[in-house]
Structure 1
Amino acid sequence: MAPAWLSVPHGALSLDRAPSIHFRPDQPASRGVPAVLRRPGTVAVSVAALRRPLVATVAAATNTAAAASVEERERTFIEEMRAVAMRLHSRDQSKYGEKEAPMEPPVAKWRPTVEGYLRFLVDSKLVFETLEAIVDSAAIPWYAEFRSTGLERSEPLKKDLEWFRQQGHKIPEPCAPGITYASLLEELSVKEPYAFVCHFYNVYFAHSAGGRIIGKEVAEKIHLQKELEFYEWEGDLSQLQQNIRGKLNQVASGWSRAEKDRCLDEMEKAFACSIDLRRHMF
Protein backbone atom coordinates (compact mmCIF):
# COMPACT_ATOMS: atom_id res chain seq x y z
CA MET A 1 0.00 0.00 0.00
CA ALA A 2 1.35 3.45 -0.92
CA PRO A 3 2.04 5.95 1.89
CA ALA A 4 -0.60 8.55 2.56
CA TRP A 5 1.91 11.45 2.48
CA LEU A 6 5.05 12.31 0.55
CA SER A 7 7.75 14.71 1.81
CA VAL A 8 9.08 17.26 -0.71
CA PRO A 9 11.53 20.15 -0.37
CA HIS A 10 10.11 23.67 -0.31
CA GLY A 11 9.36 24.88 -3.83
CA ALA A 12 9.85 21.53 -5.57
CA LEU A 13 8.88 17.88 -5.35
CA SER A 14 11.88 15.54 -5.10
CA LEU A 15 11.32 11.88 -5.86
CA ASP A 16 14.95 10.84 -6.32
CA ARG A 17 15.54 9.87 -2.69
CA ALA A 18 13.37 7.77 -0.48
CA PRO A 19 12.15 9.74 2.54
CA SER A 20 12.77 8.61 6.08
CA ILE A 21 9.81 6.93 7.72
CA HIS A 22 8.92 7.64 11.31
CA PHE A 23 6.25 5.68 13.11
CA ARG A 24 4.40 7.36 15.92
CA PRO A 25 4.70 5.12 18.96
CA ASP A 26 1.06 5.46 19.81
CA GLN A 27 -0.04 4.54 16.26
CA PRO A 28 -1.84 1.21 16.16
CA ALA A 29 0.23 -1.40 14.34
CA SER A 30 -2.88 -2.67 12.57
CA ARG A 31 -3.03 0.45 10.46
CA GLY A 32 0.05 -0.79 8.60
CA VAL A 33 1.16 2.57 7.07
CA PRO A 34 2.71 5.73 8.48
CA ALA A 35 0.55 8.80 8.68
CA VAL A 36 3.44 11.11 7.67
CA LEU A 37 6.71 10.72 5.78
CA ARG A 38 8.93 13.65 6.61
CA ARG A 39 12.54 14.82 6.54
CA PRO A 40 13.82 17.93 8.20
CA GLY A 41 13.18 20.98 6.07
CA THR A 42 10.42 19.35 4.03
CA VAL A 43 6.76 20.04 3.51
CA ALA A 44 4.11 17.34 3.73
CA VAL A 45 2.22 17.00 0.46
CA SER A 46 -0.87 14.86 -0.09
CA VAL A 47 -0.71 12.33 -2.89
CA ALA A 48 -4.35 13.14 -3.57
CA ALA A 49 -3.42 16.82 -3.91
CA LEU A 50 -0.64 15.94 -6.32
CA ARG A 51 -2.98 13.81 -8.37
CA ARG A 52 -5.79 16.35 -8.67
CA PRO A 53 -4.14 18.56 -11.36
CA LEU A 54 -3.12 15.49 -13.34
CA VAL A 55 -6.59 13.98 -13.14
CA ALA A 56 -8.15 17.29 -14.17
CA THR A 57 -5.73 17.61 -17.10
CA VAL A 58 -6.39 14.07 -18.28
CA ALA A 59 -10.14 14.55 -17.96
CA ALA A 60 -10.01 17.81 -19.91
CA ALA A 61 -7.89 16.22 -22.61
CA THR A 62 -10.25 13.25 -22.81
CA ASN A 63 -13.30 15.49 -23.15
CA THR A 64 -11.59 17.60 -25.82
CA ALA A 65 -10.53 14.50 -27.73
CA ALA A 66 -14.04 13.07 -27.53
CA ALA A 67 -15.55 16.32 -28.81
CA ALA A 68 -12.99 16.49 -31.60
CA SER A 69 -13.73 12.88 -32.47
CA VAL A 70 -17.45 13.60 -32.81
CA GLU A 71 -16.78 16.71 -34.88
CA GLU A 72 -14.34 14.86 -37.10
CA ARG A 73 -16.75 11.98 -37.60
CA GLU A 74 -19.57 14.34 -38.59
CA ARG A 75 -17.38 16.35 -40.90
CA THR A 76 -15.57 13.49 -42.56
CA PHE A 77 -18.41 11.82 -44.46
CA ILE A 78 -19.34 14.99 -46.35
CA GLU A 79 -15.67 15.49 -47.07
CA GLU A 80 -15.53 11.94 -48.37
CA MET A 81 -18.48 12.57 -50.65
CA ARG A 82 -16.95 15.76 -51.99
CA ALA A 83 -13.57 14.08 -52.51
CA VAL A 84 -15.15 11.28 -54.54
CA ALA A 85 -17.09 13.81 -56.60
CA MET A 86 -13.98 15.89 -57.27
CA ARG A 87 -12.07 12.84 -58.49
CA LEU A 88 -14.73 12.29 -61.15
CA HIS A 89 -13.75 15.59 -62.76
CA SER A 90 -11.02 15.71 -65.35
CA ARG A 91 -7.64 17.17 -64.48
CA ASP A 92 -8.40 20.42 -66.30
CA GLN A 93 -11.69 20.80 -64.40
CA SER A 94 -10.27 20.35 -60.91
CA LYS A 95 -6.85 19.94 -59.36
CA TYR A 96 -8.30 16.89 -57.62
CA GLY A 97 -9.61 15.43 -60.89
CA GLU A 98 -8.49 11.97 -61.96
CA LYS A 99 -10.38 11.52 -65.22
CA GLU A 100 -8.18 11.62 -68.31
CA ALA A 101 -11.02 13.25 -70.24
CA PRO A 102 -14.14 15.08 -68.98
CA MET A 103 -17.40 13.18 -68.87
CA GLU A 104 -19.01 15.98 -70.90
CA PRO A 105 -17.62 18.67 -73.23
CA PRO A 106 -16.60 22.05 -71.76
CA VAL A 107 -19.48 24.52 -71.57
CA ALA A 108 -17.59 26.89 -73.89
CA LYS A 109 -18.07 24.33 -76.70
CA TRP A 110 -21.79 23.84 -76.11
CA ARG A 111 -24.24 24.99 -78.80
CA PRO A 112 -27.50 25.13 -76.87
CA THR A 113 -30.90 26.04 -78.32
CA VAL A 114 -34.01 27.31 -76.59
CA GLU A 115 -35.78 24.04 -77.43
CA GLY A 116 -32.97 21.97 -75.93
CA TYR A 117 -32.86 24.20 -72.87
CA LEU A 118 -36.60 23.72 -72.35
CA ARG A 119 -36.17 19.94 -72.50
CA PHE A 120 -33.46 20.23 -69.85
CA LEU A 121 -35.70 22.36 -67.63
CA VAL A 122 -38.66 19.99 -68.01
CA ASP A 123 -36.57 16.91 -67.19
CA SER A 124 -34.95 18.71 -64.26
CA LYS A 125 -38.39 19.62 -62.91
CA LEU A 126 -39.41 15.95 -63.00
CA VAL A 127 -36.25 14.91 -61.15
CA PHE A 128 -36.66 17.56 -58.45
CA GLU A 129 -40.36 16.72 -58.04
CA THR A 130 -39.40 13.08 -57.57
CA LEU A 131 -36.76 13.87 -54.96
CA GLU A 132 -39.13 16.13 -53.05
CA ALA A 133 -41.95 13.57 -53.12
CA ILE A 134 -39.62 10.84 -51.84
CA VAL A 135 -38.42 12.81 -48.82
CA ASP A 136 -41.93 14.08 -48.10
CA SER A 137 -43.37 10.57 -47.97
CA ALA A 138 -40.32 9.34 -46.00
CA ALA A 139 -40.64 5.61 -46.66
CA ILE A 140 -37.29 5.46 -44.89
CA PRO A 141 -37.82 7.45 -41.66
CA TRP A 142 -34.61 9.47 -41.86
CA TYR A 143 -35.59 10.83 -45.29
CA ALA A 144 -37.75 13.23 -43.32
CA GLU A 145 -34.56 15.04 -42.26
CA PHE A 146 -34.23 16.26 -45.86
CA ARG A 147 -37.58 18.04 -46.05
CA SER A 148 -37.86 21.80 -46.56
CA THR A 149 -34.15 22.44 -47.03
CA GLY A 150 -34.69 25.63 -49.03
CA LEU A 151 -32.86 24.03 -51.97
CA GLU A 152 -36.04 22.58 -53.51
CA ARG A 153 -36.40 23.57 -57.18
CA SER A 154 -39.66 22.17 -58.54
CA GLU A 155 -41.72 25.30 -57.80
CA PRO A 156 -39.16 27.74 -59.26
CA LEU A 157 -38.95 25.54 -62.37
CA LYS A 158 -42.73 25.52 -62.66
CA LYS A 159 -42.72 29.33 -62.69
CA ASP A 160 -39.90 29.47 -65.23
CA LEU A 161 -41.65 27.10 -67.61
CA GLU A 162 -44.85 29.14 -67.31
CA TRP A 163 -42.86 32.24 -68.27
CA PHE A 164 -41.54 30.48 -71.38
CA ARG A 165 -45.08 29.42 -72.27
CA GLN A 166 -46.26 33.02 -72.00
CA GLN A 167 -43.48 34.02 -74.39
CA GLY A 168 -44.99 31.69 -77.00
CA HIS A 169 -42.76 28.66 -76.52
CA LYS A 170 -44.22 25.17 -76.56
CA ILE A 171 -43.36 23.30 -73.35
CA PRO A 172 -42.35 19.70 -74.14
CA GLU A 173 -43.21 16.60 -72.19
CA PRO A 174 -40.47 14.93 -70.11
CA CYS A 175 -37.95 13.02 -72.22
CA ALA A 176 -36.15 9.72 -71.72
CA PRO A 177 -33.27 11.07 -69.56
CA GLY A 178 -35.65 12.67 -67.05
CA ILE A 179 -38.09 9.76 -66.98
CA THR A 180 -35.31 7.21 -66.59
CA TYR A 181 -33.63 9.14 -63.81
CA ALA A 182 -36.87 9.71 -61.90
CA SER A 183 -37.65 5.98 -62.07
CA LEU A 184 -34.15 5.14 -60.81
CA LEU A 185 -34.56 7.51 -57.86
CA GLU A 186 -37.88 5.94 -56.88
CA GLU A 187 -36.39 2.45 -57.06
CA LEU A 188 -33.25 3.29 -55.09
CA SER A 189 -35.19 5.17 -52.43
CA VAL A 190 -36.92 1.91 -51.47
CA LYS A 191 -34.31 -0.75 -52.23
CA GLU A 192 -31.01 1.06 -51.63
CA PRO A 193 -31.48 4.17 -49.48
CA TYR A 194 -27.73 4.78 -49.08
CA ALA A 195 -27.30 4.96 -52.86
CA PHE A 196 -30.36 7.23 -53.05
CA VAL A 197 -28.74 9.71 -50.66
CA CYS A 198 -25.77 9.98 -53.01
CA HIS A 199 -28.10 11.11 -55.81
CA PHE A 200 -29.88 13.50 -53.45
CA TYR A 201 -26.54 15.05 -52.53
CA ASN A 202 -25.30 15.29 -56.10
CA VAL A 203 -28.48 16.77 -57.60
CA TYR A 204 -28.85 19.51 -55.02
CA PHE A 205 -25.20 20.44 -54.57
CA ALA A 206 -24.21 20.16 -58.23
CA HIS A 207 -27.03 22.49 -59.21
CA SER A 208 -26.36 25.04 -56.48
CA ALA A 209 -22.63 25.09 -57.37
CA GLY A 210 -21.54 24.37 -60.95
CA GLY A 211 -25.14 24.37 -62.17
CA ARG A 212 -25.42 28.09 -61.56
CA ILE A 213 -22.36 28.76 -63.72
CA ILE A 214 -23.71 26.54 -66.50
CA GLY A 215 -27.09 28.27 -66.33
CA LYS A 216 -25.53 31.69 -66.73
CA GLU A 217 -23.40 30.69 -69.72
CA VAL A 218 -26.26 28.89 -71.46
CA ALA A 219 -28.56 31.90 -70.93
CA GLU A 220 -25.98 34.10 -72.64
CA LYS A 221 -25.62 31.69 -75.56
CA ILE A 222 -29.37 31.57 -76.25
CA HIS A 223 -29.77 35.31 -75.53
CA LEU A 224 -32.20 34.73 -72.70
CA GLN A 225 -33.36 38.09 -71.33
CA LYS A 226 -34.45 36.78 -67.95
CA GLU A 227 -32.86 35.55 -64.75
CA LEU A 228 -34.57 32.23 -64.15
CA GLU A 229 -35.88 31.43 -60.70
CA PHE A 230 -34.24 28.03 -61.09
CA TYR A 231 -30.99 29.80 -60.20
CA GLU A 232 -32.32 31.96 -57.37
CA TRP A 233 -32.75 30.90 -53.75
CA GLU A 234 -34.57 32.52 -50.87
CA GLY A 235 -32.15 33.35 -48.07
CA ASP A 236 -28.41 32.84 -47.92
CA LEU A 237 -27.50 29.96 -50.24
CA SER A 238 -24.26 29.14 -48.42
CA GLN A 239 -26.19 28.80 -45.15
CA LEU A 240 -28.82 26.59 -46.81
CA GLN A 241 -26.04 24.37 -48.11
CA GLN A 242 -24.41 24.23 -44.71
CA ASN A 243 -27.71 23.26 -43.11
CA ILE A 244 -28.20 20.30 -45.43
CA ARG A 245 -24.57 19.25 -44.94
CA GLY A 246 -25.30 19.08 -41.23
CA LYS A 247 -28.39 16.95 -41.83
CA LEU A 248 -26.49 14.61 -44.14
CA ASN A 249 -23.71 14.26 -41.60
CA GLN A 250 -26.18 13.60 -38.81
CA VAL A 251 -27.96 10.87 -40.76
CA ALA A 252 -24.73 9.25 -41.96
CA SER A 253 -23.30 9.18 -38.44
CA GLY A 254 -25.53 6.18 -37.76
CA TRP A 255 -24.37 4.24 -40.82
CA SER A 256 -21.84 1.44 -40.90
CA ARG A 257 -18.69 1.73 -42.98
CA ALA A 258 -20.21 -0.61 -45.58
CA GLU A 259 -23.32 1.58 -45.84
CA LYS A 260 -21.23 4.70 -46.30
CA ASP A 261 -19.19 2.98 -48.98
CA ARG A 262 -22.37 2.00 -50.82
CA CYS A 263 -23.32 5.66 -50.90
CA LEU A 264 -19.90 6.70 -52.21
CA ASP A 265 -19.88 3.94 -54.82
CA GLU A 266 -23.01 5.47 -56.40
CA MET A 267 -21.33 8.81 -57.14
CA GLU A 268 -20.25 8.02 -60.70
CA LYS A 269 -23.77 6.83 -61.54
CA ALA A 270 -25.17 10.07 -60.10
CA PHE A 271 -22.75 12.05 -62.26
CA ALA A 272 -23.75 10.13 -65.39
CA CYS A 273 -27.49 10.67 -64.76
CA SER A 274 -27.01 14.42 -64.31
CA ILE A 275 -24.94 14.62 -67.48
CA ASP A 276 -27.72 12.84 -69.38
CA LEU A 277 -30.08 15.65 -68.36
CA ARG A 278 -27.60 18.32 -69.52
CA ARG A 279 -27.09 16.50 -72.82
CA HIS A 280 -30.17 18.34 -74.08
CA MET A 281 -28.05 21.50 -74.05
CA PHE A 282 -24.93 20.23 -75.78
Structure 2
Amino acid sequence: MTLTSAAPVEVPRRRQGGFVDEMRSVAMKLHTREQARGGEKEAKGPEERSIAKWDPTIEGYLKFLVDSKLVFDTLEGIVHKAALPCYAEFRNTGLERSENLAKDLEWFKDQGHNIPEPSDPGVCYAGFLEDLSEKDPQAFICHFYNIYFAHSAGGRMIGKKVAEKILDKKQLEFYKWDGDLPLLLQNVREKLNKVSEGWTREEKNHCLEETDKSFKYSGDILRLILI
Protein backbone atom coordinates (compact mmCIF):
# COMPACT_ATOMS: atom_id res chain seq x y z
CA MET A 1 0.00 0.00 0.00
CA THR A 2 1.30 3.43 -0.88
CA LEU A 3 0.29 6.77 0.52
CA THR A 4 -1.04 7.80 -2.87
CA SER A 5 -3.52 4.92 -2.79
CA ALA A 6 -4.84 5.80 0.66
CA ALA A 7 -8.35 7.14 0.95
CA PRO A 8 -8.54 10.94 1.22
CA VAL A 9 -8.31 12.11 4.80
CA GLU A 10 -11.18 14.18 6.10
CA VAL A 11 -9.56 16.85 8.26
CA PRO A 12 -11.73 17.94 11.18
CA ARG A 13 -11.93 21.53 12.27
CA ARG A 14 -9.09 22.63 14.52
CA ARG A 15 -10.09 22.47 18.16
CA GLN A 16 -8.38 23.43 21.36
CA GLY A 17 -6.50 20.12 21.40
CA GLY A 18 -4.50 21.12 18.33
CA PHE A 19 -3.19 18.67 15.74
CA VAL A 20 -3.40 15.73 18.14
CA ASP A 21 -7.20 16.05 17.94
CA GLU A 22 -6.96 15.55 14.20
CA MET A 23 -4.80 12.46 14.70
CA ARG A 24 -7.25 11.04 17.21
CA SER A 25 -10.25 11.70 14.98
CA VAL A 26 -8.72 9.87 12.03
CA ALA A 27 -7.61 6.96 14.24
CA MET A 28 -11.05 6.53 15.83
CA LYS A 29 -12.68 6.16 12.42
CA LEU A 30 -10.35 3.26 11.63
CA HIS A 31 -11.62 1.26 14.60
CA THR A 32 -14.39 -1.22 13.96
CA ARG A 33 -17.85 -0.68 15.40
CA GLU A 34 -17.18 -3.57 17.78
CA GLN A 35 -13.92 -2.05 19.02
CA ALA A 36 -14.96 1.47 19.87
CA ARG A 37 -17.80 3.96 19.84
CA GLY A 38 -17.21 6.11 16.81
CA GLY A 39 -15.58 3.28 14.86
CA GLU A 40 -16.68 3.09 11.23
CA LYS A 41 -15.15 -0.15 9.92
CA GLU A 42 -16.77 -3.55 9.76
CA ALA A 43 -14.82 -6.25 11.61
CA LYS A 44 -12.99 -8.61 9.26
CA GLY A 45 -10.18 -10.34 11.13
CA PRO A 46 -10.73 -11.93 14.56
CA GLU A 47 -8.56 -9.27 16.22
CA GLU A 48 -11.03 -6.62 15.02
CA ARG A 49 -13.92 -8.14 16.91
CA SER A 50 -14.98 -7.41 20.48
CA ILE A 51 -12.38 -8.62 23.00
CA ALA A 52 -15.15 -10.58 24.76
CA LYS A 53 -15.22 -12.87 21.72
CA TRP A 54 -11.48 -13.57 21.72
CA ASP A 55 -9.99 -16.97 22.56
CA PRO A 56 -6.36 -16.12 23.45
CA THR A 57 -3.57 -18.60 24.14
CA ILE A 58 -0.44 -18.30 26.28
CA GLU A 59 1.72 -19.15 23.26
CA GLY A 60 0.08 -16.47 21.15
CA TYR A 61 0.20 -13.91 23.92
CA LEU A 62 3.92 -14.49 24.39
CA LYS A 63 4.46 -13.94 20.67
CA PHE A 64 2.50 -10.69 20.96
CA LEU A 65 4.55 -9.52 23.95
CA VAL A 66 7.88 -10.39 22.32
CA ASP A 67 6.99 -8.61 19.07
CA SER A 68 5.60 -5.64 21.01
CA LYS A 69 8.85 -5.39 22.94
CA LEU A 70 10.83 -5.29 19.70
CA VAL A 71 8.64 -2.44 18.44
CA PHE A 72 8.94 -0.47 21.68
CA ASP A 73 12.70 -1.14 21.80
CA THR A 74 12.90 0.32 18.31
CA LEU A 75 10.78 3.37 19.08
CA GLU A 76 12.69 4.16 22.25
CA GLY A 77 16.02 3.64 20.50
CA ILE A 78 15.02 6.03 17.71
CA VAL A 79 13.93 8.67 20.19
CA HIS A 80 17.08 8.26 22.29
CA LYS A 81 19.34 8.52 19.24
CA ALA A 82 17.29 11.46 17.89
CA ALA A 83 18.70 11.52 14.36
CA LEU A 84 16.21 14.35 13.86
CA PRO A 85 16.14 16.96 16.66
CA CYS A 86 12.35 16.84 17.04
CA TYR A 87 12.52 13.22 18.24
CA ALA A 88 14.42 14.32 21.35
CA GLU A 89 11.18 15.93 22.57
CA PHE A 90 9.88 12.42 23.27
CA ARG A 91 12.66 11.13 25.52
CA ASN A 92 11.72 10.04 29.03
CA THR A 93 8.00 10.75 28.70
CA GLY A 94 7.02 8.05 31.17
CA LEU A 95 5.14 6.15 28.47
CA GLU A 96 8.13 3.92 27.66
CA ARG A 97 7.26 0.21 27.74
CA SER A 98 10.48 -1.66 27.00
CA GLU A 99 11.70 -2.22 30.55
CA ASN A 100 8.23 -3.24 31.72
CA LEU A 101 7.93 -5.78 28.94
CA ALA A 102 11.36 -7.20 29.84
CA LYS A 103 10.09 -7.78 33.39
CA ASP A 104 6.96 -9.51 32.10
CA LEU A 105 8.89 -11.84 29.82
CA GLU A 106 11.20 -12.72 32.70
CA TRP A 107 8.13 -13.56 34.80
CA PHE A 108 6.79 -15.88 32.10
CA LYS A 109 10.22 -17.52 31.88
CA ASP A 110 10.18 -18.08 35.65
CA GLN A 111 6.80 -19.79 35.24
CA GLY A 112 8.42 -22.32 32.91
CA HIS A 113 7.35 -20.85 29.56
CA ASN A 114 9.70 -20.71 26.61
CA ILE A 115 10.15 -17.17 25.31
CA PRO A 116 10.01 -17.17 21.50
CA GLU A 117 12.14 -15.15 19.14
CA PRO A 118 10.49 -12.13 17.49
CA SER A 119 8.29 -13.15 14.57
CA ASP A 120 7.71 -11.59 11.16
CA PRO A 121 5.08 -9.01 12.19
CA GLY A 122 7.33 -7.45 14.84
CA VAL A 123 10.52 -7.70 12.78
CA CYS A 124 8.83 -6.12 9.76
CA TYR A 125 7.32 -3.29 11.78
CA ALA A 126 10.55 -2.52 13.63
CA GLY A 127 12.49 -2.37 10.37
CA PHE A 128 9.83 -0.20 8.81
CA LEU A 129 9.94 2.25 11.73
CA GLU A 130 13.74 2.49 11.59
CA ASP A 131 13.63 3.32 7.89
CA LEU A 132 10.71 5.72 8.24
CA SER A 133 12.31 7.65 11.10
CA GLU A 134 15.27 8.60 8.95
CA LYS A 135 13.42 9.87 5.90
CA ASP A 136 9.82 10.71 6.84
CA PRO A 137 9.38 12.34 10.27
CA GLN A 138 5.69 13.16 9.80
CA ALA A 139 4.85 9.54 9.04
CA PHE A 140 7.03 8.32 11.90
CA ILE A 141 5.28 10.63 14.37
CA CYS A 142 1.96 9.15 13.27
CA HIS A 143 3.15 5.68 14.22
CA PHE A 144 4.66 6.95 17.48
CA TYR A 145 1.36 8.54 18.47
CA ASN A 146 -0.83 5.60 17.54
CA ILE A 147 1.36 2.96 19.18
CA TYR A 148 1.67 4.69 22.55
CA PHE A 149 -1.81 6.12 22.77
CA ALA A 150 -3.52 2.95 21.57
CA HIS A 151 -1.69 0.94 24.21
CA SER A 152 -2.75 3.36 26.95
CA ALA A 153 -6.41 2.99 25.96
CA GLY A 154 -7.57 -0.12 24.09
CA GLY A 155 -4.32 -1.89 24.91
CA ARG A 156 -5.04 -1.75 28.62
CA MET A 157 -8.51 -3.16 28.03
CA ILE A 158 -7.03 -5.99 25.99
CA GLY A 159 -4.49 -6.72 28.73
CA LYS A 160 -7.21 -6.90 31.36
CA LYS A 161 -9.45 -9.22 29.34
CA VAL A 162 -6.60 -11.52 28.32
CA ALA A 163 -5.43 -11.71 31.95
CA GLU A 164 -8.94 -12.71 33.02
CA LYS A 165 -9.03 -15.48 30.44
CA ILE A 166 -5.56 -17.03 30.69
CA LEU A 167 -3.49 -15.42 33.50
CA ASP A 168 -5.78 -15.71 36.53
CA LYS A 169 -6.25 -11.91 36.38
CA LYS A 170 -2.56 -11.14 36.87
CA GLN A 171 -1.76 -7.57 35.83
CA LEU A 172 1.42 -7.43 33.80
CA GLU A 173 3.97 -4.63 34.07
CA PHE A 174 3.19 -3.78 30.44
CA TYR A 175 -0.03 -2.22 31.72
CA LYS A 176 1.45 -0.24 34.61
CA TRP A 177 2.92 3.26 34.53
CA ASP A 178 4.94 5.22 37.08
CA GLY A 179 3.03 8.40 37.76
CA ASP A 180 -0.39 9.63 36.70
CA LEU A 181 -1.14 8.21 33.23
CA PRO A 182 -3.56 10.97 32.12
CA LEU A 183 -0.93 13.55 33.04
CA LEU A 184 1.78 11.65 31.16
CA LEU A 185 -0.45 11.45 28.10
CA GLN A 186 -1.29 15.14 28.26
CA ASN A 187 2.39 16.00 28.42
CA VAL A 188 3.03 13.97 25.25
CA ARG A 189 0.01 15.55 23.53
CA GLU A 190 1.53 18.96 24.18
CA LYS A 191 4.87 17.82 22.78
CA LEU A 192 3.18 16.41 19.67
CA ASN A 193 1.30 19.64 19.14
CA LYS A 194 4.51 21.62 19.61
CA VAL A 195 6.40 19.53 17.03
CA SER A 196 3.56 19.69 14.50
CA GLU A 197 3.22 23.48 14.77
CA GLY A 198 6.10 23.84 12.33
CA TRP A 199 4.52 21.56 9.72
CA THR A 200 2.72 22.73 6.61
CA ARG A 201 -0.87 21.63 6.01
CA GLU A 202 0.44 19.20 3.41
CA GLU A 203 2.82 17.65 5.94
CA LYS A 204 0.02 17.34 8.49
CA ASN A 205 -2.19 15.61 5.94
CA HIS A 206 0.68 13.28 5.11
CA CYS A 207 0.95 12.37 8.79
CA LEU A 208 -2.78 11.65 9.00
CA GLU A 209 -2.68 9.51 5.87
CA GLU A 210 -0.15 7.21 7.56
CA THR A 211 -2.72 6.17 10.19
CA ASP A 212 -4.07 3.34 8.06
CA LYS A 213 -0.60 1.83 7.73
CA SER A 214 -0.06 2.16 11.47
CA PHE A 215 -3.25 0.20 12.13
CA LYS A 216 -2.24 -2.51 9.66
CA TYR A 217 1.17 -3.14 11.24
CA SER A 218 -0.20 -3.03 14.79
CA GLY A 219 -3.08 -5.30 13.80
CA ASP A 220 -0.66 -7.90 12.46
CA ILE A 221 1.04 -8.00 15.88
CA LEU A 222 -2.22 -7.99 17.80
CA ARG A 223 -3.44 -10.97 15.79
CA LEU A 224 -0.63 -13.06 17.31
CA ILE A 225 -2.58 -13.24 20.59
CA LEU A 226 -5.13 -15.48 18.89
CA ILE A 227 -2.66 -17.93 17.37
Q: Please confirm whether the aligned pair reaches a TM-score higher than 0.5, indicating the same fold.
A: yes
Match of 2:31 among 89, 95, 99: 89
Q: Secondary structure at the match of 2:18?
A: helix
Cα shift at 1:74: 6.8
Distance (whole Å) between structure 2 residues aligned to residue 92 and residue 215 of structure 1: 17
Match of 1:251 among 195, 210, 215: 195
Distance (whole Å) between structure 2 residues aligned to residue 173 and residue 183 of structure 1: 15
Q: Give the corresponding residue for 1:148.
A: 92
Distance (whole Å) between structure 1 residues aligned to residue 18 and residue 217 of structure 2: 25
Q: Among all aligned residue pairs of Structure 1 and Structure 2, give the percentage whose two residues are the same amino acid.
A: 64
Q: Confirm or deny: 8 A CA contact 1:129 1:154 kept in the other structure.
A: yes
Cα shift at 1:94: 3.6
Distance (whole Å) between structure 2 residues aligned to residue 166 and residue 142 of structure 1: 40
Q: Give the corresponding residue for 2:17.
A: 75
Distance (whole Å) between structure 2 residues aligned to residue 105 and residue 236 of structure 1: 30
Distance (whole Å) between structure 2 residues aligned to residue 125 and residue 77 of structure 1: 28
Cα shift at 1:92: 4.1
Distance (whole Å) between structure 1 residues aligned to residue 51 and residue 216 of structure 2: 16
- 1:174 and 2:174 are equivalent in the alignment: no
Q: Give the corresponding residue for 2:65.
A: 121
Deviations 1:44-70 (A, max 9, x none): xxxxxxxxxxxxxxxxxxxxxxxxxxx
Cα shift at 1:73: 7.2
Q: TM-score, normalised by structure 1?
A: 0.72
Q: Give the corresponding residue for 2:180.
A: 236
- 1:100 and 2:42 are equivalent in the alignment: yes
Q: Give the corresponding residue for 1:274.
A: 218
Q: Confirm or deny: 8 A CA contact 1:128 1:152 kept in the other structure.
A: yes
Distance (whole Å) between structure 1 residues aligned to residue 148 and residue 208 of structure 2: 16
RMSD: 1.5
Cα shift at 1:281: 1.1
Runs of 4+ more than 3 Å apart: 91-95, 100-103
Q: Give the corresponding residue for 2:134.
A: 190
Cα shift at 1:191: 1.4
Deviations 1:120-163 (A, max 9, x none): 10000000000000011111111000100000000000011001
Cα shift at 1:96: 2.5
Equivalent residues in 2 for 1:217-232 (5 A)? 217-224=161-168, 226-232=170-176
From the superposition, tell whether residues 242 and 252 of structure 1 become closer, same or farther in structure 2 (CA, over 3 Å). Answer: same
Q: Confirm or deny: 8 A CA contact 2:160 2:169 kept in the other structure.
A: no
- Which protein has the larger Cα radius of gyration, Structure 1 or Structure 2? 1
Q: Confirm or deny: 8 A CA contact 2:125 2:217 kept in the other structure.
A: yes
Greater RCO (Cα-Cα under 8 Å, separation 6 or more):
2
Q: Confirm or deny: 8 A CA contact 1:74 1:249 kept in the other structure.
A: no
Q: Secondary structure at the match of 1:89?
A: coil
From the superposition, tell whether residues 114 and 244 of structure 1 become closer, same or farther in structure 2 (CA, over 3 Å). Answer: same
Q: Which amino acid aligns with 2:25?
A: A
Q: Confirm or deny: 8 A CA contact 1:89 1:102 kept in the other structure.
A: no
Question: Aligned pair count?
Answer: 211
Q: Give the corresponding residue for 1:67.
A: none
- Point out where structure 1 has 5 or more consecutive residues left out of the alignment: 1-71
Q: Which amino acid aligns with 2:20?
A: I
Distance (whole Å) between structure 2 residues aligned to residue 220 and residue 140 of structure 1: 42
Q: Secondary structure at the match of 1:226?
A: coil
Cα shift at 1:106: 2.0
More helix by share: 2
